[in-house]
Structure 1
């Protein structure tokens, strides 16, 4: 039970770290349908996406266009959250920098020369990514050293942003190759990408 509590606390904190959106009205969607359909661009997020299981849907605004969709992989402690939300009138670099700063404020240390994460299937989107290391217990509760990922995709039309946040135990780094790409490939993004110029 203690291990489950630690993992639940870890998942909750990762969700907070990843949010990076101003919270107008925030709520976990109880009994989210399968699939959960984004209210702004109709992207569908299924309960099961290949090896990934959806465990939480959070709407950060009243109209449900700013959302976070949490996924996990059985047997791999950690949290993956996909965000899809309207652009806020700032540059893609500013969006990325804001998310990066939020992670650094919570003891994330930027990994220099980390490989760039490029997600296929987002034609014309500006993609920015970073990788972070979090020391043991750095999030303020008991946990091993972590590895954390950030990707921001700014759509070419300037109207929508997609974001990926993932945090895992550092000891599992060897199991993480391609994890973001595999999750993204399980989601049909065409309702979003078809709108692009």
Structure 2
């Protein structure tokens, strides 16, 4: 039996390695990717990913615009993007000043950077506040209903029989501009909804921080 399981495991690994099936292996933690990107990648690519970081003009090869959807990074697979960051896949032009990040960080961190790059490409709304502040606020105040992962499955959601919004649904979040979310968090929602207003308990920086954090909860 163990031999059969081992053979099946090896076969599955071979299929994945050959790219014969698609998997979410590169759907890392987008929030972690935000932190890593703003520690290392922003120097060349800029905090907005457009390739205009503080070191960009000092390089012989211009950094890529990671938000470019016209034949750019948006059109390559997560697997290719992972390999380019890791340093195991050549860039399309054949020339790049990109460091071989696989020598400095493990694969799971590179996966998270891939996830954050996809956020930069697909989210329709900028991060207005500090997601690090938002994470603390979210875990202290929002997770009871929305869950620590943001799926709407917090302990109070079951006890009170309420349908808390799933903040991991990027397509749904993209429908709501930041101004609308600020209004909801500040004043709550009307009617029988149990979403409270946090105006008296949170500062404006905390409110826009928590909205910026929940923008990073989905894997785009």
Q: TM-score range by the shorter chain?
A: under 0.3
Higher strand share: 1
Q: State the TM-score, normalized to the length of structure 2.
A: 0.21
Of structures 1 and 2, the larger Rg is shown by: 2
